[in-house]
Structure 1
Amino acid sequence: MKSRPNTRCMFAGGNTPEGFVNYFGEILEYNTNRVFIIKGGPGVGKSTFMKKIGQDLLEKGYDLEYFYCSSDPYSLDAVAVPQLKVAIMDGTAPHVIDPSYPGAVEEIIYFGEYWDNEALIANKGHIMEYTNQIKGLFNTAYSQLKEAKVAYDEWKSYVQSCLNRAEYQRQADLFIGRVFKRFDALGKKSRARHYFACAITPSGIKDYADTLLKPGMDVYPIYGGPGSGAKELLMRIAHIAEWQGFFTERSHCPIEPDHLDMVIIPELNAALLNIWEPFRNTVPKGEGINLKEGIDLSLCIDEAKLGEEGRKALLDSRRRFLDLLNKAINNIAQAKVIHDQLESYYISAMDFEKIERIRQQIVQRMLKYENS
């Protein structure tokens, strides 16, 4: 038996103003041995299948990475086993995955072989109706997130107009110096891995950052909302780490998916993360972490420059952003309710005994890579 295993949780995909954005190609870092891609409809048992595989491997002492679904934060999209360099993932919409190296690396497991076609055909009308309703609710939610991003950008612009750039630069330079201490290039090619630690889900904002912080890790909080320069500072830190040759893990922001909300630099045993409402209100409580001196970028902002009307406009844009965000969450939650109803038709049509036998076989096949 190996030592106590570690589990890390994150999202491979997220609901954003740009629609569904995913990093499924980043689930395994490199030198992959095997990827099992599950194809099948809702309710065919994909998440349960992966959870059971994960439990078997945890009991054998393997560290695991769980990738949860942003449309259901308690359902899995994938499980990766870094020590074995294997993964199993859901390859159905909205994150359709096809093999890059069929048979050599990836293998498709089609759960459609284990359902009763006649039972599904008998419920064709309900299945089509629910599927279309779900699609419509997500389209509405993504439109609301796009509107929310407009209000967010307005909020951000008001804050930016109050930012003391000289003080911001001074504070940022001091902070970067505390993180890196030395600025020597390591002479090796850097790598980066991308995911979402935080996501917009039917249950609201869900953040798994606490599972990504290891005991003994130095954690640097960056306090600052839209327009404070927090995300720009995180990107600057990621670029410095890249220049030095460090591997980085980069968590993306659900509202600005091109920007970062957290950077982990394993070789420095350091994590830097943005703290701002409503996405991450406090520093995650990772067990045994070393909370280091962070940076509070609100100290570089002078809202008095806005005047009374400007402050009212800032608060109004923030209110509109939060209101639209909550409306989008409500629509995603409604889609989840209908998705659960849709799943019931597939659950009753499945032969789960055959699926369980396949699951046991896959666990044994994964274990063969232990010494590879």
Structure 2
Amino acid sequence: MQNTPVLDFFLGALSPSGFSGWFAEAAAEPGARPRLIKAGPGCGKSTFMRRMGEKGAQTAPDGAMIEQIHCSSDPDSLDGVRLPDGTLYLDATAPHTLDCKYPGAAERVVSFYDTLDNDYLEEHSAEVLALGNQNTELLQRAAADFALACGLLQRRRQYAAQALDTEKLDRFTARLAARLMPRRGGCKPGTRRIRLLSAPTPGGITVFADTVTKAADTIYVVHDAYGAASARMLKQLADRARQAGYEAYVCRCASDQRRIDHLILPELRLAVLTSNTWHTMNFPGQKNIHAARFMNGKMLAARRGPLQYQKRIASQLIARTCQTQAEAKRIHDELEKHYIRATDFAAVDAIRARQQAELFDQK
């Protein structure tokens, strides 16, 4: 078995408005061949996708990579896997429900519903529905706390943006972009894959740092406590990458999904990352850019008290968000026990064998 790098990401996460993500966008990416998995919780979707990824790694060409898309409510579980040929398995059930737009031509459905003992589930429907409703209520509570934290962080960024020397930052970014991303003659615009490198989870803020070292050798880290300078810089670098014709992983911020926190360009073996209190980036040989050089220090010092207060309360709210997610996961684990009891896993294995035969036996 060859050593095929596996890149770990999230494709969605808790946001100020509840769960949100980019599952539909991933399914529509150039070269994607989406296969939408329909199943209940605990029915073997994650194991199915993990094993499809392992099989894909065995047949992958040199230089190829596998993507594993993790569930932010349980990072040990998978919500998706992308194989080197573009085949993209996605959990297409709530809270990221997907349906076919062009069945067969664009998407295919892989259904596990026929593996379920519906009589058992109907018999235990009261317990199943009660657990599902309790899980939903807890996630709504977590989203409310996270929304408050995100509001405080946004106020910090807004004030920091007022202290930002944008002309100085833009000149620096333009020079950096020209040096790192030479334009390709006659190339088409580069493609973007929107992902999350970090997210709030039941175990705290989870960061897939190993993904960076697997995809990049040259790593730039922008140290920015407020996110105003890094957001402006990363947007400009992402635009440059697209104009210059490079494929890029554009990693959004869970607290403000309009902002870019990280940029990874596997073709150039390059990453530009944001480091702050919630996702500290520390890699051997990294090149550091300190956002303070672009800021008016006197303006920030004049608001030090409120800025520190906002940070402290936001940190407490994020910690409570993750604690509530952990309680929601405990309830979800109880819900899964019913579906594990109701699932014919031999039938799930048969579905996986058919999928593997279809994708790999001719190779």
TM-score (norm 1): 0.88
What CA deviation, in whole Å up to 9, does each residue of 1:245-293 have, x standing for no partner? 3332201111111111111233433211111111x212356xxxxx453
Which one of 69, 74, 90 corresponds to residue 76 of structure 2?
Answer: 74
Question: C-alpha distance in 1, partners of 2:115/2:187?
Answer: 52
1:190 maps to 2:193: no
Change (3 A) 1:31 1:94: same
Contact 2:16 2:255 survives alignment (8 Å): yes
- CA distance in structure 1 between the aligned counterparts of 2:184 and 2:67, rounded to whole angstroms: 31
Q: 3-state DSSP class of the match of 1:294?
A: strand
With over 3 angstroms needed to count, the CA separation of the structure-2 counterparts of 1:167 and 1:57, relative to structure 1, is closer
Q: Give a deviation string over 1:217-257, Cα, whole Å, max 9, x none.
A: 22111111225411110001111222223332201111111
Task: Give the residue type in structure 1 aligned to 2:133.
Answer: N
Are the counterparts in 2 of residues 36 and 107 from structure 1 also a CA contact under 8 Å? yes
**Displacement, 1:174?**
4.5
What is the CA distance between 1:164 and its match in structure 2? 4.3
Superposition deviation, residue 177 in structure 1: 4.5
With over 3 angstroms needed to count, the CA separation of the structure-2 counterparts of 1:45 and 1:307, relative to structure 1, is: closer
Number of the residue aligned with 1:10 = 9
Q: Is the 8 A contact 2:69 2:79 kept in 1?
A: yes
Structure 1 stretches lacking a partner, 5+ long:
286-290
| Matching residue of 2:287 | 293
Question: Which deviates the most, 19-28 or 350-359?
Answer: 19-28
**1:157/1:227 contact within 8 Å kept:** no
Runs of 4 or more, structure 1, over 6 Å off, are: none
Moved more, 138-147 or 59-68: 59-68
Q: Contact between 1:10 and 1:209, CA under 8 Å: does it hold in 2?
A: no
1:295-339: CA deviations, max 9, x gaps?
Answer: 11123335443556x211111011111111111111111110000
**Aligned-residue offset at 1:346:** 0.9
Is 1:317 matched with 2:304?
Answer: no
Q: Tell me the residue number matched to 1:57.
A: 56
Mean CA deviation greater in 211-220 or 345-354: 211-220
Paired AA for residue 35 in structure 1: P
Tell me, which stretches of 5 or more residues in structure 2 are unaligned?
Answer: none
Q: Distance between the aligned counterparts of 1:187 and 1:215, measured in 2?
A: 22
> Where does residue 97 of structure 1 map in the other structure?
98
Cα pair distance change 1:78/1:185, threshold 3 Å: same
Contact 1:241 1:248 in 2 (8 A): yes
Q: Percent identity?
A: 29
Q: Secondary structure at the match of 2:324?
A: helix
Output the CA distance in 1 between the equivalents of 2:34 and 2:41: 21
Matches of 1:123 and 1:358 in 2, distance apart?
Answer: 26
Distance 1:341 1:369, change over 3 A: same
Which residue pairs with 2:359 in the alignment?
366
**Structure 1 counterpart of 2:75, one-letter code:** P
Q: Tell me the TM-score normalised to structure 2 length.
A: 0.90
Q: Do the aligned partners of residues 100 and 369 (structure 1) sit closer, same or farther apart at CA in structure 2, a change above 3 Å counting?
A: farther
Q: In 1, Cα distance between the equivalents of 2:183 and 2:286?
A: 19
Q: How many residues align?
A: 359
1:115 CA displacement: 1.4
1:266 is aligned to 266
Superposition pairs of residues 282-361 of structure 1, within 5 angstroms: 282-284=281-283, 291=285, 293-306=287-300, 310-361=303-354
Tell me, in whole angstroms, the C-alpha distance in 1 between the residues paired with 2:10 and 2:163.
34
* C-alpha spacing 1:8/1:307, structure 2 compared with 1 (3 Å): closer
The separation in 2 between residues aligned to 1:73 and 1:216, in whole angstroms, is 23
> 1:282–1:302: structure 2 CA closer, same or farther, 3 Å change rule?
same
Distance 1:359 1:129 in 2: 31
**Equivalent position of 1:253 in the other structure:** 253
Counterpart amino acid of residue 194 in structure 2? H
Relative to 1, partners in 2 of residues 1:210 and 1:186: Cα closer, same or farther, differing over 3 Å?
A: farther
Instruction: Report the CA distance shift for 1:150/1:190 in structure 2 as closer, same or farther (over 3 A).
Output: same
Most deviating of 352-361 and 238-247: 238-247
Change (3 A) 1:109 1:166: closer
Moved more, 123-132 or 296-305: 296-305
Q: Is the 8 A contact 1:14 1:254 kept in 2?
A: yes
Q: Distance in 1 between matches of 2:277 and 2:300?
A: 21
Deviation of 1:85 (Å): 2.4
One-letter amino acid of the structure 2 residue matched with residue 52 of structure 1: R
* Letter paired with 1:300: F
Distance 1:215 1:319, change over 3 A: closer
Match of 1:288 in 2: none
Deviation at 1:183, TM superposition (A): 5.5
Shift of 1:39: 1.0
AA aligned opposite 1:46: K
**Residue 154 of structure 1, CA deviation:** 2.2
**Whole-angstrom CA distance in 2 between matches of 1:340 and 1:277:** 30
Match of 1:42 in 2: 41
Q: Is the 8 A contact 2:169 2:233 kept in 1?
A: no
Change (3 A) 1:45 1:357: same
Q: CA RMSD in A?
A: 2.4
More moved, 335-344 vs 185-194: 185-194
How far, CA to CA, are the matches of 1:355 and 1:179 in structure 2?
47
Q: In the superposition, relative to structure 1, how do residues 208 and 314 fare at CA in structure 2: closer, same or farther (>3 Å)?
A: same
